[in-house]
Amino acid sequence: MTFGKGKIWFDGKFVNWEDCKIHAMSHVVHYGSGVFEGIRCYKNKKGSAIFRLTEHIRRLYESAKIYRIDIPYSQKEFCQFCIDTVRENKIDECYIRPIVFRGYGELGVDPSRCPINCIIAVWAWGKYLGSDALEKGVSVCISSWRRAAPNTFPSLAKACGNYINSQLIKLEAKRNGYDEGIALDTYGFVSEGSGENIFMVRNGVIYTPPSYSSILPGITRHAIFQISRDLNLRIEKHTIPREALYIADELFFSGTAAEITPVTRVDEIVVGEGKRGPITKSIQDYFFKVVNGEMEDKFNWLTYI
């Protein structure tokens, strides 16, 4: 199923992709008042497996809670709707996009009289940062745009409005010839990419910024903690100064779309040996073996549909 085809789950019913419409005066269109998720479903030898579905739906509900959005279903029901949408579209490998938003009602900033609408769409989405990025790595810049300061836009919520900041980071990076941009937090420490968490390896230890560095706490990031511990690798949450990225041995991104992507250049400075490093590769191998059904799923990441 390519983007633009198939059925979309819309408030409890399946509608054709082209009929899934909302009013232009919906609250979310004007004020970014929605929360969403990005989830991958992998086809492997045993069937189609959704990666960490319950964790993604939990984060969706937590994002909604922060913004006082009441989702009219249980988390368990919502997980089932995601599975139903994949099945309905007869697609065995896809990206799943649930979104819950404030719809058409009134247009004041106060959203309390607007209805809550829920949508789940699925489509095939290849390698987010380019076809050979997983092996060759990507070239990034430090963005001139910062992540939002604490107590401004909550970074723990995956809210639609947050991505207007991500767009500034991504547009600037692409315009200047980079694959992606990394933003610093308001204190000048490394935060994250426009849609990925960042990890740094130095002297055999893996570091990643803590949640108070204005990051989205990634589900893939959490999986990397599980993988690293299982591989007996030391991993720590630590504030990271910008220049530490330049002198790192290895860098990599994590994210649902980006999966685990090596970063080989930062601001035109070659990181380590300028290619995917051995620790990055061992974490990547572990991740892909599990999602491809070639290794035991000991952390119960996969929900077969």
Catalytic residues, which ones? 158
Question: For residues 117 and 111, what is the distance between their CA atoms, to the nearest angstrom?
Answer: 13
Q: Which is nearer to ligand PMP, 115 or 217 (CB)?
A: 217
Residue of 221, 235, 271, 301 interacting with ligand PMP (CB under 6 A)? 221
How is residue 225 written in tokens? Answer: 């903690």
195 binds ligand PMP (CB under 6 A): yes
191 binds ligand PMP (CB under 6 A): no
How far is CA 300 from each of CA 26, 49, 59, 222, rounded to the nearest angstrom?
Answer: 38, 11, 17, 13
Residue of 179, 180, 185, 192 interacting with ligand PMP (CB under 6 A)? 192
Question: For residues 158 and 106, what is the distance between their CA atoms, to the nearest angstrom?
Answer: 24
218 binds ligand PMP (CB under 6 A): yes
34 binds ligand PMP (CB under 6 A): no
Q: Which is nearer to ligand PMP, 114 or 166 (CB)?
A: 166
CB of 79 to ligand PMP, least distance (A): 16
220 binds ligand PMP (CB under 6 A): yes
What does the DSSP assignment read for 127-190? -TT-TTHHHH-EEEEE-SSPPPPTTTS-TTS-BGGGHHHHHHHHHHHHHTT-SEEEEE-TTSBE
CA angle, 190 then 32 then 199, to 5°: 20
CB of 129 to ligand PMP, least distance (A): 12
| Site residues for ligand PMP per CB under 6 A | 38, 166, 192, 195-197, 216, 218-221, 254-256
